[in-house]
């Protein structure tokens, strides 16, 4: 099936078919509907390389994901569905802990000439982002300090959710609260730690250096963190984790050590990955809404690629975090008020 046959069946010119398929120029709505109906009926698939030559666009958006982190699975699903809705193909480039995957992603996206790129990773590296924007590829990323040019940022309000978590634990009577964070090299992890310290100070709770543990958002960092804390002369009665996987490690190791959760130790996670609600006990956590992140990223890229000529932008979107109460938190030893 060719565009000539499509034009014949739709009783329109070849130029009209080309404009409809490539989304170029104005076409009478009734003619456009006629062409799309014929295209659907015959199952026609246009030559993507030819479309790119005509329109100057590949109608492909890149998505770089940290595949190790289960948090990003729903972002992938939503981003892909939005691509279907807007006639964009999604080119996925997974990131691993191997730094070589960064440069592999740069090469893949550049060779396929994506119209725009979303970087959804817990470890955005400035050099990595600059590799795309330096090639005039519009880019959307998480928690970039200096957006501008062809770069937009999606900011996560870590503090709002952590404040809710700390206040929740304080209301339950927990005064000795620990924090197991991510790597200090990660901007997101640093933001979470600062937010925790600030929120503890706001309500007059002291922070013991022994209860501030650096991890890497993994299950293993949770098991290691709670193992060290269990050996302290005075254990914490609650712990806030920078990631749900870390909280899973805390709960698992707590079971092995005979620590009752939440009876002896309340646990709060972060991100709200799907498996958290199926733990025993179900995990209280700070939710980052993945669907909102995917929609914000996709919308920002559409704004970029639809602008002719492409314009610089310094705008950003802010995603609010919120506490989700489940069963891994309970009354602590110093409870003096009712749970809000």
Q: What is the mean pLDDT of residues 129-155?
A: 81
The whole-angstrom separation of Cα 176 and Cα 332 is 9
- Can 60-156+289-318 and 158-288 be said to share one CATH topology? yes
Q: Between these two residues, 10 and 102, which has the higher pLDDT value?
A: 10
Other beta carbons within 10 Å of 331: 16
Residue 172 clears pLDDT 70, i.e. is over it: yes
Q: Which CATH architecture has domain 158-288?
A: 3-Layer(aba) Sandwich (3.40)
* 283 DSSP assignment: P
The least confident of 64-73, 95-104, 120-129 is 120-129
Q: Which CATH architecture has domain 60-156+289-318?
A: 3-Layer(aba) Sandwich (3.40)
If pLDDT is split at 50, 70 and 90, which confidence band does 48 have?
Answer: low
Domain assignments of the chain as residue spans, ordered by start: 3-55, 60-156+289-318, 158-288
The whole-angstrom separation of Cα 12 and Cα 136 is 37
Q: What is the mean pLDDT of residues 272-301?
A: 95
Dihedral sign, Cα of residue 251, residue 252, residue 255, residue 257: negative
Give exposure, 144-182, as e/b (b: 16+ Cβ within 10 Å). beebebbbbbbebbbbbbbbbbbebbbbbbbbbbbbbbb
Residue 337 has what pLDDT?
44
If pLDDT is split at 50, 70 and 90, which confidence band does 50 have?
Answer: low
Mean pLDDT of the chain: 87
Superfamily of domain 3-55: lambda repressor-like DNA-binding domains (1.10.260.40)
Q: For 175-188, what is each residue's pLDDT tens digit?
A: 999 999 999 888 88
Q: For 202-243, what is each residue's pLDDT tens digit?
A: 999 999 999 999 999 999 999 999 999 999 999 999 999 999
Percent of the chain with pLDDT over 90: 54
């Amino acid at each position: 099936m060719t565009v000539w046959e499509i034009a014949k069946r739709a009783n329109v010119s070849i130029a009209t078919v080309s404009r409809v398929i490539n989304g170029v120029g104005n076409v009478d709505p009734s003619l456009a509907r006629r062409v799309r109906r014929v295209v659907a009926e015959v199952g026609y698939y246009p030559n993507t390389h030819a479309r790119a030559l005509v329109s100057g666009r590949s109608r492909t958006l890149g998505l770089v994901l940290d595949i190790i982190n289960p948090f990003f699975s729903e972002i992938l699903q939503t981003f892909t569905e939005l691509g279907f809705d807007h006639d964009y193909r999604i080119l996925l480039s997974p990131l691993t802990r191997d730094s070589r995957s960064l440069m592999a992603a740069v090469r893949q996206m550049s060779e396929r000439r994506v119209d725009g790129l979303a970087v959804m990773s817990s470890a955005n590296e400035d050099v990595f982002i600059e590799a795309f924007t330096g090639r005039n590829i519009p880019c959307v990323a998480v928690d970039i300090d200096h957006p501008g040019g062809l770069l937009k940022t999606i900011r996560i309000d870590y503090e709002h959710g952590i404040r809710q978590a700390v206040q929740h634990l304080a209301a339950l009577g927990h005064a000795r609260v620990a924090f197991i964070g991510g790597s200090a090299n990660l901007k997101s992890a640093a933001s979470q730690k600062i937010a925790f310290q600030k929120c503890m100070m706001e309500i007059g709770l002291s922070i013991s250096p022994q209860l501030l543990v650096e991890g890497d958002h993994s299950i293993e960092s949770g098991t290691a963190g709670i193992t060290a804390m269990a050996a302290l002369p005075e254990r914490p009665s609650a712990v806030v984790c920078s990631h749900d996987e870390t909280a899973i490690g805390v709960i698992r190791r707590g079971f092995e050590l005979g620590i009752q959760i939440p009876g002896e130790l309340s646990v709060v996670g972060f991100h709200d990955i799907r498996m958290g609600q199926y733990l025993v006990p179900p995990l209280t956590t700070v939710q980052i809404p993945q669907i909102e992140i995917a929609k914000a990223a996709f919308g920002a890229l559409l704004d970029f690629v639809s602008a002719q000529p492409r314009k610089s932008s310094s705008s950003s979107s802010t995603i609010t975090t919120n506490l989700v109460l489940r069963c891994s938190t309970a009354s602590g030893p110093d409870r003096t008020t009712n749970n809000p």
